[in-house]
A and B are shown apart, each in its own frame.
Chain A
Amino acid sequence: MKGTLMTEVRIAPATKSSPPASAAEETPMIQIERLELFYGAKPALKGISMTILKNRVTAFIGPSGCGKSTLLRCLNRMNDLIEGVRIAGSIRVGGADIYAPRTDITALRKRVGMVFQKSNPFPKSIFDNVAYGPRLLGQRGRAALEGIVEKSLRASALWEEVRDRLHESALGLSGGQQQRLCIARAIAVEPDILLMDEPCSALDPIATAKIEELMEELKNRYTIVVVTHNMQQAARASDYTGFLLMGDLVEFGETAKLFTTPGDRRTEDYITGRFG
């Protein structure tokens, strides 16, 4: 299964007329170097270094409290909001250090979109939810907004289900639809990277399958980083997997390899279900 999936990925770019596929093949998107994070005096991430490739799905797995969500939230600086957080090391997105003092956080978060564990549509209409980001960036034109909303909803495979009720409240959607709406809202500002923090943990298997299918689709245009505590999901839906344990990145590599021939004893124990 995994093998065919990887083949498809390699074939896909060849069918497109856009820039040569090989260029995007191994381009680094995010480079993390010796990243450390402290909550007060308590270390939550202990010297993590990794490179996340463009147009790939990278999954972080690990038991609760291992730091996988914390690591994800470093990538769009959502940890800034938490009192007493201190960070050392560097994270570069597309070459630029995002913790440099002059970083424009609004611009960063436009580049690095995020989907949360619990779907969080705003108490507004479906249209206004998707248009929220573009409006923040100053897009006011009705026609332009309509175009963006349709495009984003199509990209998140929600358009056919909601096209007749764009102006009804988003809170009337089902859980799976709400989560896809949040994905549409995140990609409406055309980010380069999409962070997903356990996007399926509150969804049933059918809605989960739809989101995973969507991730496969979306990685052609975005770099996706997903946190999951569901190992099957990581194995199914990601190209690269990082295993974290108590703030350490124990192992990081191609998903197929990590799940079949893990290099570390602790990884093996975790993926075979001996703990966690």
Chain B
Amino acid sequence: MLRTRLRRRILSWAVSGFCGFSVAAALLPLGCILLYVLKQGVSTLSWDFFTRMPQPVGEAGGGMANAIVGTLILISLAAAVAVPVGILSGIHLAEYPAGRLGAIVRFAADVLNGVPSIVIGIFAYSIAVLPFRRFSAAAGGLALGFMMIPIVLRTTEELLKLVPSTLRDGALALGATRARAAFTVVLPAALPGIVTGVLVAVARIAGETAPLLFTAFNNRYWSTRLDQPIASLTVQMYTYAISPYDDWHRQAWAGATVLIGAVLVFSLLARASTRRLERMHRG
């Protein structure tokens, strides 16, 4: 009796300990990365970093204003490509799951999700850079958009499937067509989750470098034109990090800090918007 109890207690301790260890092992790399990046980057981070342009080699100071704006433009372009395509195909998959087209789309999305980002970059290069003989922000946005589509698509599909079918039936019983029911009842019910999915996808592509290397290229000057090469935080960081100059290395670390901060803000935004929309729905 006593021994059973002792054995149970030891087992319970061991399992709890193992769980605790696993949690620590999962969080440790994140903590280390955050700490290290902050330690390296914060010293260079100043108001100038956000508002000033890069300085020529040898001149101290300067910032990445063009790269920050460039990244925002590229993300917006990607979202403009991926959100409509992803959500509409997601609706198709969720509402007509049996169709042959659905199976093809689902398979294609999964394959696309697994394609290395550099390959997506090459593809965007071949369709949006080569024909115009010019690197451009539009091509970069397209490449990032291709990466985003499968994430938005599968999130939308999964979330739409979670909406109780009684809601769809309710709309159909009032005489709505399937499409009408999907857009006016099912989609709004799933919207909080879909918004979160889109923000998570944005956070994911904001850190991509490879697809931009030969699409958006880079730009040391201020540019917001879509038909011109454009700077981005990631490519700028890459260029600075492989350079031999200490000053540029510091700038690269500061860029990393900003990027991580931005991703964090997006994640928090996603959570906040979810909660807000849910509260609105629950009443």
Interface residues of A (CB under 8 A from B): 76, 78, 81, 83, 105-110, 113-114, 116, 118, 120, 122-124, 132-133, 136-137, 168-172, 182, 185-186, 189
Contact = CB atoms under 8 A, between A and B. Distances in A.
Contacts, number: 72
B173 A109 contact: yes
A137 B282 contact: no
B228 to A, nearest CB: 44
Contact of B172 (A107, A109, A168): A109
Contacts of A110: 174-175
Contacts of A105: 175
6 contacts: A106-B176, A114-B173, A122-B185, A124-B188, A171-B281, A185-B170
A83 B98 contact: yes
Contact of B174 (A123, A124, A172, A185): A185
User: 4 tightest CB-CB pairs across the interface, nearest first?
Assistant: A169-B283, A172-B283, A114-B173, A109-B175
Most buried by A among B164, B166, B170, B180: B170
Interface residues of B, number: 22
B43 interface: no
A105 B172 CA distance: 10
Interface of B: 98, 164, 166-167, 169-177, 180, 184-185, 188-189, 280-283
Nearest to B277: A123
Nearest to A81: B172
B176 to A, nearest CB: 6
A133 B189 contact: no
B167 A122 contact: yes
Contacts of A120: 164, 166-167, 169-170
Contacts of B176: 106, 136
A27 to B, nearest CB: 24
Given A109-B175, A133-B175, A122 B170 contact: yes
A136 B180 contact: yes
Contacts of B166: 116, 118, 120
B173 to A, nearest CB: 4
Contacts of B189: 122-123
Nearest to A137: B175
B184 to A, nearest CB: 7
A132 B170 CA distance: 10
Contacts of B282: 169, 171-172
Contacts of A170: 283
B174 A186 contact: yes
A96 to B, nearest CB: 16
B213 to A, nearest CB: 44
Contacts of B172: 78, 81, 109
Contacts of A81: 169, 172
A169 B282 CA distance: 7
Contacts of B167: 120, 122-123
A107 B167 CA distance: 20
A97 B186 CA distance: 31
A168 B283 contact: yes
Given A78-B173, A106-B177, 18 more contacts: A81-B169, A106-B175, A110-B175, A113-B173, A116-B170, A120-B167, A122-B170, A122-B171, A122-B188, A123-B167, A123-B188, A132-B171, A132-B174, A132-B185, A169-B282, A170-B283, A171-B283, A186-B173
